[in-house]
Amino acid sequence: MNDTRDGVSAYDPAAVESKWQRLWEERGTNRVDLRAAERPYYNLMMFPYPSAEGLHVGNVFAFVGSDIHGRFRRLQGFDVFEPLGFDAFGIHSENYALKINQHPARLIPANIDNFRKQLKRVGLMVDWSHELQTIDPRYYKWTQWVFLQLYKAGLAVRRKAPVNWCPECKTVLANEQVIDGNCERHPGTRVVQRYLEQWFFTITKYAQRLLDNLSWIDWSESTRLLQINWIGRSEGAELVFRTSSGEEIRVYTTRPDTVFGATYLVLAPEHPLVDRLTAPAQRSAVDQYRDRVSRMDLVSRRVGSKEKTGVFTGAYAANPATGEEVPIWIADYVLMEYGSGAIMGVPAHDERDFEFARKFGLEIRRVVVPASGGEGELPFTDWDGVLVNSGAFDGMPCREAARAITQWLSERGLGSFQVQYRLHDWCISRQRYWGPPIPIIYCDHCGTVPVPEQDLPVELPYIEDFRPDESGISPLARHEEWYRVPCPQCGQLARRETDVSDTFLDSAWYFLRYPSTEFDDRPFDPELTRKWLPVDTYIGGNEHATLHLMYSRFITMALHDLGYLPFEEPYKRFRAHGTIVKDGAKMSKSRGNVVVPDEYIAKWGADTFRMYLMFLGPYQEGGDFRDEGIAGIRRFLDKVWVLVKNARRDEGEIDRAAMRKLHQTIRKVTGDLEELRYNTAIAALMEYVNTLRETGVTAASMVEPLIVMLSPFAPHFAEECWEILGHDRSVFEASWPKWDEKLAEEEQIELVIQVNGKVRSRMQVARGITEEQAVQRALQDEAVQRFVKGRKVRKAIFVEDRLVNLVT
């Protein structure tokens, strides 16, 4: 270009970026020799779902933040492996294919090609030779292998269970996909409950271990808390209420201290005892109620409606503490999946029980009063209380009573200490087409038979009629030519499982595959796995905290226990990135505020776009994208460009202030990059550039460290600058600069401290200290404190680098 700035040719991002992307590819700059690497560092970002809309700004924000970390580690001397692939199976892809009347087997590969092209424009340090796609039979062969290992270990089981069913999606939904009773993908569609035969992974067997490890793994605190709450460990007791016919109803409670106040029981409408316990006079009402509840989704039942509903069964059971007969009801807010599917109603000390009892006129009996005295307003739910109306336990504090009553009931065979978890087993069955077939065969003679490993993969057949229907049966079940196969054990005609597996199974182990994509005879090579895993740093969104991250931890633990992995946690360090909004609002097409990366990269260049996203705010929080802000980053790069063009080797004496600023900047940027504080690191680089410009320093030795520190943020730009400075190798083969603590120290001056005009102290401070800092330091001085004690400082008189006078 002929354009010039400050007498030098202007920076042309389009030319620079196309040049370096070509050279990186030709030179294999981003490829890693996995076996020869001496300092392996596995840097991973969550792989994307390749939507038809293409790369969105949230993807770029996440990927660039991870990429900066990887490039920083490479400059520190690590052999960084940064792979990327595509999470391409699943309901999102299939629904979009249905919407535009295309087959996913044709649509999704095209989406992947577009996504890859966009990702390369961003300038990521990705080793594309290890790309994987979950829709590739070479990949999902091993997803099916993982299923078989869990099946053999008894961790994959098939059972009938209530599930959320979306009439629009025509498949099962996870609880997290139900919002206020509606499907997250179809906000106007009410989700209903169905009973279907499903495959489950028994993740609940690992609940305590998953919880225990959260105490030591290096994860973002927000993510750890989400997982702790999702696992939901609670300590309590299982109590036994017996009916006159001898049936035992087992109830889990976290408040056994309140059992003397249990005046009724509530069973889940699906509880197996309901049919046997219901009195003839109540049969019709109970059946009608159960039918109505069966059409509700599980999430709405968990949350509970404001309007309490329920039906009396006509049966009674004995309170294990009092021996009194209490009525047995059924209600929608009790579910079979938590505890035993039965609760004891203690209306005086539980909000929900109180509302239920008031609506249906059930007895409310106080058995706890505040420890501070008085009776307290009902319902009184605090633990800080003492027992009343509780026989021999009257006057005992609640926590002590909970243990004592459980022990007392245990000795009578009516109770036991117990731990419960909110975590449920993972349902992996999906009644859709676009996913890996579950590798199971059903034989009338041999029963459930796993597909032999040598017969994997069970390939997903290409069928034109892949649209799901209301039957609750997978589209594959309409193709007898596919599902009719010989039984692997007896050879007689049998039937394949026609459900496909949940897309979260695809992503639960993908990080294990990246180093071993070249192998078709093993899912992950033992030697490479030992060398490169667990993942050193994993970056992703907190929206995956309770699904993907939990499931990948479980799969890793299971494979570890089965002898396949030498570690039980998949990621040494996990950091959750923040979210980008536009002009203060969440991005959406309806608001017209969606940031399309391609448009901004075309106008400003990838490096400017990368840096602007990182400058918006703390990476782990996110920021507000405003169009007017990006120009400031471009002006900064233009300033650096001029510095590089004017850099000289005949350096002479270096300005002391500039040298001090250089070492302070290296210290600051290094610390910030370690903690992913990218916005403040960029601010420090900007300050350093201003110092170089103000002092007129043009020495190459002062500019080169700047380019190395800038390179993780603006890799194409840095490569070009590095070449201009006379280097013939990549800037990423340079070493991260080191700072000298002595050279980074601020020049010290003596600051006089006065109180009401009289000198009371002197202190050594950094030259250029601000008024706010000076006042703060002065008030911390013991001598000064004696003269201002008990008095308010009305104002401060500050003379820079000389004195501060506190006026009281």
Residue 398 domain flag: yes
Residues 727, 590 share a domain: yes
Other Cβ atoms within 10 Å of 240 Cβ, number: 17
Residue 357 domain flag: yes
Residue 181 domain flag: no
Residue 270 domain flag: yes
Q: Mean pLDDT lowest for which of 155-159, 575-579, 758-762, 768-772?
A: 768-772
C-alpha 150/C-alpha 548 separation (Å) is 17
Render pLDDT for 428-469 as a digit per residue (tens, 0 to 9): 999 899 999 999 999 999 999 999 999 999 999 999 999 988
The number of folded domains in the chain is 4
C-alpha 107/C-alpha 433 separation (Å) is 14
Residues 114, 38 share a domain: yes
Average pLDDT for residues 44-65, to the nearest whole number? 91
Residues paired with 442 in a beta bridge? 448, 495
Render pLDDT for 376-431 as a digit per residue (tens, 0 to 9): 899 999 999 999 999 999 999 999 999 999 999 999 999 999 999 989 899 999 98
| CATH number for position 528 | 3.40.50.620
Domain boundary among 564, 582, 600: 582
Residues 792, 769 share a domain: yes
Rg of the chain in Å (alpha carbons): 33
Residues 133, 46 share a domain: yes
Residues 306, 408 share a domain: yes
Helices (H), strands (E): how many in the chain?
27, 34
Q: Could you tell me which residues come within 8 angstroms of residue 533 by beta carbon, excluding any fewer than 6 positions away?
A: 42, 511, 512, 515, 565, 567, 570
CB distance 747 to 657 below 8 Å: no
Residues 788, 728 share a domain: no
Residue 157 domain flag: no
The CA–CA distances, whole Å, from 799 to 311, 565, 657, 794, 795 equal 80, 65, 21, 17, 13
| CATH number for position 721 | 1.10.730.10
Backbone torsion region of residue 740, taken as left when φ is above 0, otherwise alpha when ψ lies between -120 and 50, otherwise beta: beta
Sign of CA dihedral 281, 287, 293, 298: positive
121: Cα within 13 Å, side-chain hemisphere: 23
Q: By CB neighbour count within 10 A (0-12 exposed, 13-18 middle, 19+ buried), where does 591 fall? A: exposed
Average pLDDT for residues 43-50, to the nearest whole number? 95
Tokens 């006129």 -> residue: 361
Q: What angle do CA 714, 719, 725 make, to 5 degrees?
A: 125
Residue 644 domain flag: yes
In terms of pTM, does the model score above 0.75? yes
Residue 798 domain flag: yes
Residue ranges making up the domain that contains 65: 13-146+506-582
Residues 336, 239 share a domain: yes
Residues 608, 717 share a domain: yes
pLDDT score at 1: 39
| CATH number for position 351 | 3.90.740.10
Residues 335, 293 share a domain: yes
C-alpha 198/C-alpha 773 separation (Å) is 65
Residues 665, 616 share a domain: yes
| CATH number for position 794 | 3.10.20.590
Residues 636, 531 share a domain: no
Render pLDDT for 656-670 as a digit per residue (tens, 0 to 9): 999 999 999 999 999
Residues 733, 610 share a domain: yes
Residue 673: phi and psi, rounded to 5, are -65, -35
Is the pLDDT score of 276 beyond 60?
yes
Average pLDDT for residues 89-109, to the nearest whole number? 91
137 vs 747 pLDDT, higher one: 137
* Token pair recorded at residue 275: 């049919």
E strand residue ranges, 122-201: 156-166, 171-173, 178-179, 182-183, 192-201
Residue 378 domain flag: yes
Is the pLDDT score of 371 beyond 60?
yes
Domain boundary among 405, 420, 435: 420
Domain boundary among 516, 549, 582: 582
pLDDT score at 136: 98
CB distance 210 to 232 below 8 Å: no
